[in-house]
Amino acid sequence: MGKVILTMTISIDGFVAGLNTSLSNPMGDGGLRLHDWIFASRTEKDTQILDQLYESSGAVIVGGRTYHYAMENAWGGASPFTAPALVVTKDVPKHDATGFMFVPEGIKSALLKARAIAGKKNVWVMGGANLIQQFIKEDVYDEIWIHIAPVILQKGVPLFKNLGEERIELKAYEVLQTPGATHIKYRRV
Ligand SMILES: NC(=O)c1ccc[n+]([C@@H]2O[C@H](COP(=O)([O-])OP(=O)(O)OC[C@H]3O[C@@H](n4cnc5c(N)ncnc54)[C@H](OP(=O)(O)O)[C@@H]3O)[C@@H](O)[C@H]2O)c1
């Protein structure tokens, strides 16, 4: 069985997107800045990280808002992922969505299905914040890969809330610095 890897790009102050996220503003006000490491300032090292994620993942899990705001109408409605993508949402689209499956029952059901599809490969949980928070709170993950963009957004969609009461100990086992982000891979202690 592969690992469950949670990934998220955040600002230094822990936001995954700006305020006012919507279909016409998927990353919120100023939020696109976070993804400079994937677009504007992408280097070979950044590409390596992305390639590693795509190649090691046998299934991807996506949150409902992330799908509806950022993916449903992009790429001609098809999935951008190389592995099957499971969307956790009660709002299941009626149209064709090649490469996507929809899971209205929540993250545990999505994870069961994703593991069955992924086999020995990893399950990649790519956000958004609400989904990552649920995986951390339910304690169903092996690693967290955080990409910290060098910007303090001051406001937006926070990652670090709704995580329960207990302290969460992680061990950083790889750090990669690029102009667009500090990439840190953590495993659970
Ligand atoms: N910085 C990054 O790396 C990164 C990565 C991914 C996304 N994002 C951004 O993050 C934002 C979205 O994050 P978010 O925290 O607002 O939302 P999200 O985690 O993408 O999705 C939350 C949604 O998931 C569905 N959901 C959650 N629990 C469920 C359950 N138990 N049963 C059924 N459905 C459930 C609901 O969708 P429905 O309401 O559709 O039922 C809920 O509204 C977007 O702006 C996106 O662009 C950033």
pLDDT single digits (tens) 39-86: 999 999 999 999 999 999 999 999 999 999 999 999 988 999 999 999
Is the CB–ligand 1 distance for residue 136 below 6 Å?
no
Confidence of residue 162 (pLDDT cuts 50, 70, 90): very high
The predicted pLDDT at position 96 comes to: 87
Choice from 8, 9, 16 to test ligand 1 binding pocket (greatest atom count within 8 A of CB): 16
- Ligand 1 centroid vs 89 CA: distance in angstroms? 8
CA distance linking residue 106 with residue 130, whole number of Å: 12
pTM over 0.95: yes
For the chain, give the mean pLDDT. 97
